Structure 1
Amino acid sequence: MTTRQKPSSAITAIALVALTTLFWWLFLGRDIADPAGGHTYEPVGVLVCGILLTALVVGGSLLVPAWLAVVAVALPFTLATGIQAASIDDSGLWAVGTLIVLVGAFGGGAIVAAVTRGVVHLRRTVAA
């Protein structure tokens, strides 16, 4: 039986960063500021982006250490969101929002990665 070789961690991390940025831009980055000067996201865009980011963490956790998958998804997503928020907000609250996104992205990513690793471990245990 032939075993497939996993891609290198660096290549996988770069791909995760690129896909995260692409997904953010496609589903959240092109939303237009509302007339009051704020920024609104379409609910379907938020949902789809969340599902795709979850899939990236799951896939990444299968190929590289889970912590790397979480970092490679959470950091660029937070950075993109923060840059966009800073560009339209002059009150300084964008920093608070960015911190909340950072905590949520890392927390959610860590939970997804832990569940993914747990399922993989369980499948290996049952198969053995």
Structure 2
Amino acid sequence: MNSTTWTRTLLGGLTLAAATVGAWWAWLGWETGYTVDPETGATSGPYAPWQVAGCVLTLALIAAVGGWLLSPWVVAPVMTITFTIAWAAHAAATDDTGLWAVGALLVLVGAALGTTVVSGGAWLIRRGRTGRSAG
């Protein structure tokens, strides 16, 4: 890997990590409360469905752009590890049951699958477009 590629990959990875933490914070990082339904006593939360959907869509956009500009071999691990650490650190600090570890494992698997599929798809589409325009 030449120095230009290495620098681009490093800066791209750092940008991906920052954008991933930003997405986590914007959608989920500020939420700490649970909601109790006064009629049924059922507890839900801490996230509302719209927060999770917004976070997933934002992460998908970041992964797609990342996959277009970089290799999925960079995008998937950087985003997966960054998001999992951000989520787990917050969850561990606010959870008294210890179940945050189970959630962190589920976040890790979901983030790995999602970022791999989206960034890989974007990379394949770009590669296909580049191949047609060159030929």
Same fold (TM over 0.5): yes
2:118 counterpart of 1:124 = no
Give TM-score, length-normalised by structure 2. 0.80
2:106 counterpart of 1:100 = yes
Q: Deviations 1:52-86 (Å, cap 9, x if unpaired)?
A: 11111111122222111112211111111111111
Cross-structure match for 1:14? 14
CA contact (8 A) 1:61 1:116 kept: yes
Rg (Cα) greater in structure:
2
**1:16 and 1:94 mapped to 2: Cα distance?**
24
Q: How large is the Cα RMSD of the aligned pairs?
A: 2.1
Q: How many aligned residue pairs are there?
A: 124
CA contact (8 A) 2:31 2:47 kept: yes
Residue 121 of structure 1, CA deviation: 2.3
2:63 counterpart of 1:74 = no
2:60 counterpart of 1:34 = no
Q: State the percentage of identical aligned residues.
A: 30
CA contact (8 A) 1:31 1:42 kept: no
**2:85 and 2:78 mapped to 1: Cα distance?**
11
Please identify runs of 4+ aligned residues in structure 1 that moved more than 3 A: 35-39
Unaligned runs of 5+ in 2: 37-42
**1:13 and 1:118 mapped to 2: Cα distance?**
19
- Counterpart residue identity of residue 34, structure 1: Y
Give TM-score, length-normalised by structure 1. 0.84
CA contact (8 A) 1:38 1:89 kept: no
Bigger shift: residues 21-30 or 64-73: 64-73
Bigger shift: residues 84-93 or 108-117: 84-93
